[in-house]
Amino acid sequence: MSDKLWIFDTTLRDGEQVPGCQLNTREKIIVAKALEDLGVDIIEAGFPISSPGDFNSVVEISKAVTNPIICALSRAVEKDIEVAAESLKYAKKGRIHTGIGVSPYHIQYKLRSTPDEIIRRGVAAVKFARRFVGDVEFYAEDAGRAEPDFLAKIIEEVIKAGATVVNIPDTTGYCLPEQYGGYISLLKNRVPNIDQAIIATHCHNDLGMATANTIAGVQQGARQVEVTINGIGERAGNTSMEEVVMAIKCHKSIPVDISIDTPKIYGTSRLVSKLMNMPVQPNKAIVGRNAFAHSSGIHQDGVLKHRENYEIIDPKDVGVAESTIVLTARSGRAALKHHLDALGVELEGDALREVYEEFLLLADKKRDIGRKDLMGLVGKFVTDSSFIELEKVSYSSNGTVSADVTLKVGEETHSAHAEGNGPVDAVLKAIEKSVEPQVDLEEFLIQAITHGSDDVAKVHMKVIKNDKPYFGFASNSDIVLASAQAFVDALNKIPVKEYATV
C-alpha cells in the first residue's frame, strides 16, 4: 500500500506575499473553499500576528471550511504563537506552524545568535505551541544552506519537544535536486526519532528547481509537500502544486497517494490568477495557455493521429477541454484540414493542396491565422455567412454607462444597445446581444505596449464555448475599442457548427 502524500497549500500565506496580489478576507474564503473542493489536505491560511486583516482571515477561513487542516504561521515567539492559537479557535482541525532560521547566514547575520541558542528557542516554541494544539509543525528556515549535523540535531530535538511535522525549506531556492534530496535522506537515516514526525518539503524557485527539488524530497521519504497554485510566491515563486501533483501522477514509480481531484486544477488556477490579478505565463507547465497547444506540423500530425505521441497528460485530466492545434507557418496539412473540418469545410485532394499552398504564403506574413483568413482562402469553395465584422462602436456615461454597436454578420447588419458597469462591460454586452454567441468570458488582460499619453493597449481575451477555449487579441489606443475588437476576434474563432446568430 502506498503512503499518503499530504498536500499543504500555502497560496493564501506564502503565495499572497507577492507584491500587488493581496486578497481581502472575502476573496481568501473563496480561494479556501476552492482549495477544499480541489482536495488539499492542509491550508496555510495566514500569518496572524502580522496584521489584523491576516488574523481575521484565519478566523473566517477556519469557520468556512471543514475538511482541510487550517494552519497558522508564527515565529518562535510566544506572542506570535498565542495569536496564532487564538486565530484557530474555530478550526475543526488546527495546526500551528512555528520555526526559526537554521543556516549559518540566519544564525549569525539575521538572528545574531548561536547554534545552541537556536535549538533552545526552537524547542521552547514547539513546547509552547503544544499547549494550544496537538498538531505543531516546525520549520527550519533556510535548511537548504544549513550545516547537515546541526540540521539533524535541531530536528531531533524539536520532535522530542512534540513537533508532528518537520518542514525543511529551501528558502532561497539554492539547492540542486541531489542536494535537497540529500538533506531529506540525511534526516531519515540520522535522526533516531524521525519516524515520529512527517517530513515536509518547502522549496522556492529562484533557480527554477522548486518542483525538481520537491520531487527529489518525496523520493527520499518526505510525505508532505508545501506548494502554491500556479507556483506563486516571493521572488521567483514557490513550488507549483499542479506540477508536483501531475509529475507524481505521471510517474507511478513514486509510491504515494494524492487526494487532489485533478480535473479541478485548471479552474482553480484561473480563479487564483483572476482574484490575485496575476496572469499565468502562456508556457507555464500544466495550466499555461500553451501547455496543450501544438504549432509544429510534425507535432500536430502526431497529436491528431494519437494524442500520446506528444502529450504525456490528457488535458481533460487537469480540466482543459482539449488540445489546441495552432495554425502557423510551421503547421502541416493535417492541422489545416483539422481547422477546416471544424469550420464545416471539407476539402480533399487537389483542392486541399491548393488551399494549403496559399495558407503557407499567408502564414509567413501573419502571426495569427483566424477564421476570416481561412474562409478567405477557401472562398472559391464555400461562402461564410456568419463571420463577424465590427463596424461601429460608441459609448457614453450620463449617470448610466451605455454602449451602441453595429456589426456585420455575413451579409447582414446587426445593431444593439446595452448598459454596463463601465464602457468595456457595456460594449461587450451589446456585442453579445447582436450575435448571441452564448460564451463565458474567462480571461481579460490589458497590457500597455507603448508609453506616454497616447499609450497603445494590447488586449488578450479568452472565451469559453461548450467547454472549449477561444482566444482573441487586439491593440488600439482606445482600450474600449481594443476590448471590442479582441472579443470579436475570439468569437470569430468559434467553429460554425458551434455558433449561431439571431
Per the annotation, binding residues for Mn(2+) are: 14, 202, 204, 238
Provide the 10 A C-beta neighbour count for residue 132: 16
Closest CA to 424 of 352, 499, 485, 491: 485
Q: In what order do the strands lie in the sheet with 457-465?
A: 440-448, 457-465, 468-476
Helix/strand/coil for 496: helix
Annotated binding site: 14, 202, 204, 238
Q: How far is it, in rounded angstroms, from Cα 182 to Cα 189?
A: 10
Under a CB-based contact definition with an 8 Å cutoff, are residues 490 and 461 in contact? yes
The helix (run of H) or strand (run of E) holding residue 446 is: strand 440-448
DSSP class per residue in 56-109:
HHHHHHHHH-SSSEEEEEEES-HHHHHHHHHHTTT-SSEEEEEEEE-SHHIIII
Q: How far is it, in rounded angstroms, from Cα 355 to Cα 16?
A: 50
DSSP class per residue in 136-169:
EEEEEETGGGS-HHHHHHHHHHHHHHT-SEEEEE
Grid cell digits, residue 136: 505543531
DSSP class per residue in 213-240:
HHHHHHHTT--EEEEBGGG--STT-B-B
